[in-house]
Amino acid sequence: MTLNIEPTARLIEVFSAIQGEGLNVGTRQLFIRFALCDLRCLFCDSAHTWEIPSSCQIEQTPGCRDFETHPNPVTLSRLLEWVDRQNQPGLHDSISLTGGEPLLHAPFLVDFLPQLRHRTGLAIYLETGGHRPQQLVKVAPYLDTVGMDIKLPSVSGEEHWQAHGEFLQCCYDSSLGVFVKVIISNRTNFAELQQAAELVTAVSPEIPMFLQPVTPLDTAATPTPSTQVLPPTPEQVLAWQTALKSILKSVRVVPQTHKLIGQL
């Protein structure tokens, strides 16, 4: 006798908000934030997603922040019910799969995303560290757009050049809409920025790159000069954009606008 076990996922939250980063900035999205991340970026403002919590927060009314608490893991059918409740006609432009690292849940996404698309009719957008090409291959048929990070070692403390290149090539070969986001700080090594631009142009110089100045973290303890991550100066940003535009067609500078307008 074969038992049909429903797929489950570990979540942080489900909510409706304005996208504050990248190509979709300013649009209204339904966010599904997955738990767990295999990276430990120095600038991370979502360290609460690194591990799996015992419960998740689910918004009841889109944009009202009236959260309910539910236990983890969450079944596929339950998550679809929560999406249906949030998906008011005409409100959302797309659904954002974010984290943490959503591709750590690739087996769940393979089952979930076809049903999500059928139920909502909305475009599906993946926000990712851009370092798991094998998992991307499994879910690419169910995605519309991808916003992938390129982690600069001088800023993030992470280094994944080969995986980033394979990941971006997979996006391009799968005909996904894709853009690249690079976090920049006062410690950015310009040689690494050049390497990132060359990685992108090796796939296609038409792929947009977004330079995102790091947002200083609010911490209880005052960081020491050796650990503090600060935004770059305006002069640095202008010089870097000028240089990168000789390599790529589109290089934009966009901060985390959702924080400027008080969005989650």
What does the alpha-carbon distance between residue 219 and residue 238 come to, in Å, rounded to a whole number? 29
What is the greatest pairwise CA distance in the chain?
Answer: 68
Instruction: Tell me the DSSP string of 35-85.
Output: P--S---TT-S-GGGSS--SEEEEESSTTS--EEEEESSEEHHHHHHHHHH
Residues paired with 263 in a beta bridge: none
**8-216+224-256: which CATH topology?**
TIM Barrel (3.20.20)
The backbone torsions φ and ψ at residue 228, rounded to the nearest 5 degrees and listed phi first, read -70, 130
Where do the domains of the chain lie? 8-216+224-256
Ordered per-residue pLDDT tens for the chain, 264 residues = 556 789 999 999 999 999 999 999 999 999 999 999 999 998 887 888 888 899 999 999 999 999 999 999 999 999 999 999 999 999 999 999 999 999 999 999 999 999 999 999 999 999 999 999 999 999 999 999 999 999 999 999 999 999 999 999 999 999 999 999 999 999 999 999 999 999 999 999 999 999 999 887 554 444 444 456 789 999 999 999 999 999 999 999 998 888 888 876
The backbone torsions φ and ψ at residue 198, rounded to the nearest 5 degrees and listed phi first, read -70, -35
